[in-house]
Amino acid sequence: MKKQRSTTEGKVNEEFATAPNVQWPMINDQYNHIVICAHVNPDGDAIGSSLALKHYLERKGKQATVIVPNIFPDFLKWLPGADSILTYTNQKHKEQAKTAIEQADLVIVCDLNQPNRLAVLEQDVTQSKAPRILIDHHLDPDRDFCQLIFSEPSMCATGEVFCHLLRERNEFDDISQDEAICLYTAMMCDTGAFSFNSNRPVIYEYISRLLAHGIDKDQIYRNVFYTATEGRLRLQGYLLYVNMKVLHERHAAIMTLTNKERRRFKVKNGDTEGIVNIPLTMLGIKLSIFINEDTEHPGIMKLSLRSVGDFPCDQMASRFFGGGGHKNASGGKLQCSMAEALEKVNAAIESYADLLK
């Protein structure tokens, strides 16, 4: 496959906008066994866009397998096709996943910009002889990772990137209801139900066209956001009352969760999703940081950063926590104790004191 680049920051560039002129390798006859991979700790955009692509390819007569590095939230398991996803850290799935990658004649990577975001999948994917395509919306994609890149950081989700490609190729009217459900879920999840990073009118053009395929957006919202377990509700109260530290002068809030506390509240997969956003509902808060001990790697602290307005979460995450993301929603991690992580987070906040007045 000839290398082609289609990356930009800001408004959609001319090369990206002329997607119809780019021959989609995945619909060529030579590619029939296709693997779709997403990032570690896959979220609604990663799962939704990957499954939408799977349904698209299967509609074209291809064999498509979705593989993720580790478990994904329970509130996404209702999505059409979710029961076929292979989870690499699941021993029952691992050999199937390795075989699928070895036999693939094309690999498509969704919703990540660097190969290390594949975590345990990275070695198998990068060593595969199959050509690779990247479909993403994060800043600074690795230009040597894939032969063909569709990346647009101004878009709200990888699901939107896929919608754009469908529109430019005049294929939007041909998609199935399953594809529409997955694409809507991808965009909804990455925008907090269209409450941030979602002011561009074209997003609502896509929503309208997805609704025309008979999807029930209200039911999708309930499936994702109204599925709290008793443990999640009790944990949420505990985190807000006991574990939330408010830095009033810095207009910031910090919450923490250890694995011991997770066991105490019998937290299930996905129960912590979205909790980082809650402090932003407090009057005057500009920045919320959630420090969450990694369940699979004790001693690793995962950080979620959310902000409102112009505060650059992505810069803070990159500078202090080895991560990145978007201006108002980013993540990172630290290898240290919870106490040390709190010290580092406080130091990071102090370094941005001028922006947090």
Contacts of residues 326-330 at CB distance under 8 Å and 24 or more positions apart, as own/partner, are 326/138, 326/139, 326/153, 326/197, 328/196, 328/197, 329/196, 329/197, 329/305, 330/304, 330/305
**In terms of domains, do 178 and 238 share one?**
no
Alpha helices in 1-157 (DSSP H): 14-17, 44-59, 91-103, 122-127
**In terms of domains, do 216 and 307 share one?**
no
**In terms of domains, do 126 and 256 share one?**
no
What is the pLDDT at residue 25? 64
Q: How many CB atoms lie within 10 A of CB 191?
A: 21
- When the pLDDT of each residue in the chain is averaged and rounded to a whole number, the result is 91
**In terms of domains, do 59 and 83 share one?**
yes
To 10 degrees, the CA torsion angle through 34, 39, 42, 48? Answer: -40
Instruction: Name the more confident of 88 and 24.
Output: 88
**In terms of domains, do 275 and 190 share one?**
no
What is the pLDDT at residue 17? 40
pTM of the model: 0.88
Asked if the model's pLDDT at residue 12 lies above 50, the reply is no
What is the pLDDT at residue 191? 93
**In terms of domains, do 201 and 335 share one?**
no
What range does the domain containing 39 cover?
14-224
CATH number of the domain within which 81 lies = 3.90.1640.10
Looking at the structure of the chain, the number of domains it has is: 2
**In terms of domains, do 248 and 131 share one?**
no
**In terms of domains, do 133 and 46 share one?**
yes
**Which three-class secondary structure string do you get for 272-311?**
CCCHHHHHHHCCCCCEEEEEEECCCCCCEEEEEEEECCCC
75 confidence band (pLDDT: 50, 70, 90):
very high
**In terms of domains, do 40 and 137 share one?**
yes
What integer is the mean pLDDT of 311-338?
A: 93
Stretch among 44-53, 222-231, 247-256, 286-295 having the lowest mean pLDDT? 222-231
In this predicted model, what pLDDT tens digit does every residue of 92-121 receive, in sequence order?
999 999 999 999 999 999 999 999 999 999
**In terms of domains, do 193 and 110 share one?**
yes
Rounded CA-CA distance 129/74 in Å is 33
In this predicted model, what pLDDT tens digit does every residue of 155-192 receive, in sequence order?
999 999 999 999 998 999 999 999 999 999 999 999 98
Answer yes or no: is 7 within a domain: no
Asked if the model's pLDDT at residue 345 lies above 60, the reply is yes
**In terms of domains, do 104 and 210 share one?**
yes
Asked if the model's pLDDT at residue 5 lies above 80, the reply is no
* Eight-class DSSP state of 268: P
Domain boundary among 202, 224, 246: 224
Answer yes or no: is 1 within a domain: no
**In terms of domains, do 196 and 70 share one?**
yes
Answer yes or no: is 273 within a domain: yes
